[in-house]
Structure 1
Amino acid sequence: MRFLVCRWEVGSIEALLAQGADVVLLVDEWEAAHHAMDPAVVARLERLIEIGSFEAMDELAMLVTGFQEEGLTFDKVVSVCERGQFGAAYLATLLGLGQPTIAQSVQVRDKRAMKMAVRPSGVPVARFTTVPSGDPGAAALHVERTIGFPAVVKPVAGAGTLSTARVETSGELALWLRENATEGVFMAEQMISGEEYHVDAVWVDGEPWEFVVSRYFRPRIEVDVPGHLMGSIQLPRQGEAELYGAVEALHRRVNEALHITDGITHTELFRSAAGTLWFSEIATRPGGLGATQAFRARGADLREVWAESLVSPVRKSKPLQEPPFEYVGSVNLAPRSAGRITREPSDAEIAAFSYVLDTERTARVGDVVWMSPVTPGVTLIIGADSEEEFTERVLAVEAALTFETEPDGTEPDEDVPA
């Protein structure tokens, strides 16, 4: 099978190659300049093509015409990152493939379209409004009248909690808009309080091959110190049967509303103090910052399961097993100041913690990092026999495994999925 893959995400690409797929990879100019693509992986690609932008429809259209002239055909188009979704759907349409559709790409990228599609199914979703462009003061008053405060303001097609903030008053919102919303379209939505969860699953013909509910250490929007309590813990199905039943029922309604039957999903939910589950958003790509790597403790990275499902609708591997600890999760350790990394935790330092099950480095000495909720560093997969022990172990590795940086003026990278 030949796949046209949009964007560089090495774990997904390696998983497809391991399944025997032929991969033609598209990257844009920004990626080519800012991402260090592993030469060994690049050498295994059928072809690497650099384009100007995944949002340039004329460029994508001419690319497809070139494929057709050459006689190059594809079985599937997939985007492995958030900002390739629109382009992947446009390419799939031009190539005559059924999925992903353009309409679906809008609904999984534009959070307003997503909520409008899901709301008629009866799934609880937050009230929202588009933030008017122009005068920030007038925009803030509009949000106050339609949504009220506190509210969450975010890009309508953002990723994770980048350029996202909780605002308490119209004055605070007006100031935030002046400083942060100079480009793009923003929305404001009702603030939902409670525990925040993410659900990672692989679907085939509407049924899950794998389905795991994880709880963030604290809601993502509350993360204010990079590398501190930045991660989540997978919840055991046998101990959370009621939660799993409710979440899976809600997820199926969301899938139906968005016409999601196959592929990988990363879904965000809140559970209020009263126990109500609120749908936040869904992405049809692998989750980041350890969400898929945590599955390795069960036998395989979730991206590997996804790759298998893309190559064959009949599962040949066994379902993933229970992890070696009752609780497994991921924690992202990151520098506490922006700049060029001059020191990182060594392999020997990490190995001193016997309960660290896996390690994936997202930044190395020499890399430049910036301060955000998704500052790269090193992702650790940790096991524990209780939630309390898990938290203790997370705090222990945070204290011991540190980074050092020196100032650097490079522009930030804002392309890490959450």
Structure 2
Amino acid sequence: MRFLVCRWEVGAIEALLSRGAQVVLLIDAWESEHRHLDPEVVGRLERLIRIDSFDAMDELAVLVTGLQEEGLTFDRVVSVCERGQFAAAYLAALLGLGRPTIAQSVQVRDKRAMKAAVRRLGVPTAGFTTVPPGDPAAAARHVERAVGFPAVVKPVAGAGVVSTARVETAAELASWLTENAADGPFMAEQMIAGEEFHVDAVWVAGEPWEFAVSKYLRPRIELDDPGHLNGAIQLPPAREPELHKAVEELHRRVNEALDITDGITHTELFRSPDGSLWFSEIATRPGGGGTTQAFRARGADLREVWAESLVSADRTSQPLPAPPHPYIGWVMLTPHTPGRITSEPSDAEIEAFPYVLDVDRTARVGDTVWTNSLAPGVTLVIGADSEAQFTERVLALEAALVFETASDRTDSDADDAGADDAGIDADGIDSDVETAA
């Protein structure tokens, strides 16, 4: 099988390659300048092509014509990152493939279209409105009338909680809009109080091959310090049967609304103090942070399960085994201050904690890092016997495993264009890259 893959996400790409898939990879100008692509992985690609922008339809159209002229055919187009979803659907349409559709790409990227679609099937979601461009004060008054305060303001097609904020008053919103105008257009939505969850699944013909409900240690909007309680714990179905049943029922309605039948999804939702569930967002790509790595405690990263679902001849799932602890989850340890990393937790220091089940380093000494919810550092998969013990262990790891940085940067390199995924580094690319005509 041959896949046309939009953007670099090493775990997903390796999962496809290891299962014999032929991969033609597209990267854009930003990735070409800022990402370090593992030469070993690049060497296994059928082709690596650099384009200027995933938003340039003319460039993508010319690329497809050239590939077709060469006689290349593709079984599937996928985007493994947030900012390739629109392009993946456009490319699929040009190649005559049924999915992903352009309409679906809009609904899983533009959060207004997403919420409107799921609402039509009765899925509870926060009230929202588009933030009018132009005068920030007038825009803030509109938000006050439409959804009230407190409110959450975010880019309509953003990623994570980059350029996202909770605002308490119209004056605060006007000030925020003035400072962040370049990251728009924005939407505003009602603030939903309570616990925040993420749901990670692989779907085949509408049924889940794997389905896990995880609770964030802190709601993402509260991550003012991404080095503290930046993680989540998977909730075992046997211990939370009612929650799992309700979440799966809600997720199936979301899938129906957005025409999701196959592939990998990362969904976020809230549980309010009265126990009701509220849909927040969904993405049709692997989740960030440690959401997919946590499955390794059961034998395979979720990206591997996803790749297997795409290449499997009979598409019959083999459920992953039970984890070695009743509760598993992930935590990201990151520098508390931006700058160049001067020291990092050693392997020996990490190995001193026997409940650490897996380690994924996304930043090393010498890397320059920022501090936001997608900041790189080290992601740990850990096990515990209870939720309380899991949190205790996270706090112990935070105290013992520390990054140190030198404050030798003053600019803001981690803007929305660059903060697509946790683990971005800026070492350049060590391999030859073909440039699209």
**TM-score of the superposed pair, with normalisation by structure 1:** 0.98
Q: What does residue 142 of structure 2 align with?
A: 142
Aligned to 1:342, the other structure's residue is in SS state strand
Q: What does residue 283 of structure 1 align with?
A: 283
Matched AA of 1:414: A
Q: What does residue 12 of structure 1 align with?
A: 12
Question: Aligned partners of 1:339, 1:131: CA distance in 2, in Å?
Answer: 33
Q: List runs of 5+ in structure 1 lacking aligned partners.
A: none
Q: Is 1:300–1:320's contact at 8 Å kept on the other side of the alignment? A: yes
Matched AA of 1:383: G
Q: What does residue 420 of structure 2 align with?
A: 415
Deviation at 1:338, TM superposition (A): 0.5
Deviation at 1:321, TM superposition (A): 1.1
Q: What does residue 21 of structure 1 align with?
A: 21
Question: Aligned partners of 2:97, 2:390: CA distance in 1, in Å?
Answer: 45
Question: Aligned partners of 2:270, 2:126: CA distance in 1, in Å?
Answer: 10
Deviation at 1:417, TM superposition (A): 6.0
Aligned to 2:269, the other structure's residue is in SS state strand
Aligned to 1:109, the other structure's residue is in SS state coil
How has the CA–CA distance of structure 1 residues 376 and 417 changed in structure 2, closer, same or farther, with 3 Å as cutoff?
Answer: closer
Q: Is 2:2–2:75's contact at 8 Å kept on the other side of the alignment? A: yes
Question: Aligned partners of 1:325, 1:249: CA distance in 2, in Å?
Answer: 27
Deviation at 1:322, TM superposition (A): 1.1
Give CA deviations for 1:357-415 in whole Å, capped at 9, x if unaligned.
Answer: 00001111111111212211000000011111111110000000010111224622311
Give the stretch that moved more between structures: 338-347 or 286-295: 338-347
Question: Aligned partners of 1:129, 1:313: CA distance in 2, in Å?
Answer: 45
Q: What does residue 395 of structure 2 align with?
A: 395
Give the stretch that moved more between structures: 280-289 or 182-191: 182-191
Q: What does residue 249 of structure 2 align with?
A: 249
Question: Aligned partners of 1:182, 1:287: CA distance in 2, in Å?
Answer: 26
Aligned to 2:133, the other structure's residue is in SS state coil
Aligned to 1:218, the other structure's residue is in SS state coil
Deviation at 1:317, TM superposition (A): 6.1
Give CA deviations for 1:16-65 in whole Å, capped at 9, x if unaligned.
Answer: 00110000000001001111100000000000000000000000000000
Give CA deviations for 1:268-317 in whole Å, capped at 9, x if unaligned.
Answer: 00000011100000000000110000000111000000001111263466
Q: Is 1:19–1:311's contact at 8 Å kept on the other side of the alignment? A: yes
Task: Map 1:126-205 to 2 at 5 A.
Answer: 126-205=126-205
Q: List runs of 5+ in structure 2 lacking aligned partners.
A: 424-437
Task: Map 1:202-221 to 2 at 5 A.
Answer: 202-221=202-221
Give me the CA root mean square deviation: 1.1
Give CA deviations for 1:195-228 in whole Å, capped at 9, x if unaligned.
Answer: 0000000000000000000000011001111210
How has the CA–CA distance of structure 1 residues 147 and 316 changed in structure 2, closer, same or farther, with 3 Å as cutoff?
Answer: closer
Deviation at 1:182, TM superposition (A): 2.6
Give the stretch that moved more between structures: 155-164 or 401-410: 401-410
Q: What does residue 381 of structure 2 align with?
A: 381
Question: Aligned partners of 1:112, 1:142: CA distance in 2, in Å?
Answer: 16
How has the CA–CA distance of structure 1 residues 37 and 237 changed in structure 2, closer, same or farther, with 3 Å as cutoff?
Answer: same
Matched AA of 2:261: T
**TM-score of the superposed pair, with normalisation by structure 2:** 0.94
Matched AA of 2:371: M
Aligned to 1:295, the other structure's residue is in SS state helix
How has the CA–CA distance of structure 1 residues 417 and 208 changed in structure 2, closer, same or farther, with 3 Å as cutoff?
Answer: farther
Q: What does residue 79 of structure 1 align with?
A: 79
Matched AA of 1:91: L
Deviation at 1:181, TM superposition (A): 2.2
Q: Which runs of 4+ in 1 moved over 3 A?
A: none
Percent identity between the two aligned chains: 74
Deviation at 1:416, TM superposition (A): 1.4
Q: Is 2:309–2:317's contact at 8 Å kept on the other side of the alignment? A: no
Question: Aligned partners of 2:422, 2:286: CA distance in 1, in Å?
Answer: 8
Q: What does residue 97 of structure 1 align with?
A: 97
Question: Aligned partners of 1:231, 1:392: CA distance in 2, in Å?
Answer: 13
Q: Is 1:160–1:417's contact at 8 Å kept on the other side of the alignment? A: no
Q: Is 1:153–1:164's contact at 8 Å kept on the other side of the alignment? A: yes
Give CA deviations for 1:166-219 in whole Å, capped at 9, x if unaligned.
Answer: 000000000000001234310000000000000000000000000000000011
Aligned to 1:43, the other structure's residue is in SS state helix
Question: Aligned partners of 1:212, 1:311: CA distance in 2, in Å?
Answer: 22
Matched AA of 1:51: I
Question: Aligned partners of 2:316, 2:259: CA distance in 1, in Å?
Answer: 26
Aligned to 1:296, the other structure's residue is in SS state helix
Q: Is 2:127–2:147's contact at 8 Å kept on the other side of the alignment? A: yes
Q: Taking CA–CA contacts closer than 8 Å with sequence separation of 6 or more, which of the two structures ends up with the larger relative contact order?
A: 2
The reply to whether residue 364 of structure 1 matches residue 369 of structure 2 is no
Question: Aligned partners of 2:36, 2:98: CA distance in 1, in Å?
Answer: 33
Question: Aligned partners of 2:227, 2:318: CA distance in 1, in Å?
Answer: 35
Question: Aligned partners of 1:147, 1:227: CA distance in 2, in Å?
Answer: 32
Matched AA of 2:57: M
Matched AA of 2:403: F
Question: Aligned partners of 1:204, 1:17: CA distance in 2, in Å?
Answer: 20
Question: Aligned partners of 1:176, 1:344: CA distance in 2, in Å?
Answer: 34
Q: Is 2:163–2:183's contact at 8 Å kept on the other side of the alignment? A: no
Q: Is 2:270–2:277's contact at 8 Å kept on the other side of the alignment? A: yes
Question: Aligned partners of 2:421, 2:224: CA distance in 1, in Å?
Answer: 17
Task: Map 1:251-266 to 2 at 5 A.
Answer: 251-266=251-266
Question: Aligned partners of 1:380, 1:211: CA distance in 2, in Å?
Answer: 21
Aligned to 2:50, the other structure's residue is in SS state strand
How has the CA–CA distance of structure 1 residues 161 and 313 changed in structure 2, closer, same or farther, with 3 Å as cutoff?
Answer: farther
Deviation at 1:319, TM superposition (A): 0.8
Q: Is 1:133–1:139's contact at 8 Å kept on the other side of the alignment? A: yes
